[in-house]
Homo-oligomer: A and B are copies of this chain.
Amino acid sequence: MTRAGTSSLSERCPLSAVMGLRERKKLEAWRTIRSTALALISERGFDAVSVEDIAGASGVSRTTFFSYFPSKEAVVFDLDPLEVQRWRDLLADPRSDLPLWEALTDVSLGLARLLAERLPLQKRLFEQSPELCTSSRNTCDAFGPDLKEWISRRHTDGDPLHTTLVYNTALAAFSTAIEAWDPDDSFEHFLELVRDCLRWAGAGLAHPVS
């Protein structure tokens, strides 16, 4: 209800002020590597770019690359540290008044907005190189653990089977939306897809399609 609270925090303090030189350099390096990598990959395709290429083009050693990203794929799918912060804010939002599935839809839409920027590129990569994982599970993997924890926290009835089912189904719906979205369509359309898939999956797929 109070509008002034949560979201302003991350914007209000510039971070660069509170971060030491070390941290600032690290963030900068992270972003340099990431953007260099995305540039190379979107140009040549995922498989045609080696980690060595990326490291070299970023002015950094192979070893350092792997100290920033746990794998080559991570450079495509990991979140910017600031986005991670926003994602955590999203999950920390204590509006427990909504029923689980609706709250879950809200969170998913928020997540979708976080992904907005990189999603078109990712979709293009999916199409180019199917090795980049069937469907868009990679994208979800980055959020999965947090989200599952969030669900189980809200899920007071304590049945872990049901919790897991809710989680897996929500991911399935979200993946479906990613899968079905055409990057040439508007982003609004993607949000609608997310909403629709979650509504459908939540309402029950056993009924004949409405």
In the complex, which residue of chain B has the Cβ closest to the Cβ of A204? B204
Instruction: For A200, list chain B residues within 8 Å (CB).
Output: 162, 165
A83 close to chain B: CB less than 8 A: no
A20 close to chain B: CB less than 8 A: no
B166-A205 in contact (CB<8A): yes
Copies assembled: 2
Count of chain A residues near B, Cβ 8 A: 38
**Which segment, of A6-14, A37-45, A47-55, A174-182, faces chain B?**
A174-182
A99 close to chain B: CB less than 8 A: yes
The A126-144 residues at the B interface (CB cut-off 8 A) are: 134-135, 137, 141, 144
Q: 19 new A-B pairs (CB below 8 Å) besides A202-B204, A203-B206?
A: A99-B206, A101-B206, A102-B206, A134-B141, A137-B137, A160-B180, A161-B196, A161-B197, A162-B200, A165-B205, A166-B205, A168-B179, A171-B172, A172-B172, A199-B206, A201-B201, A203-B204, A204-B205, A204-B206
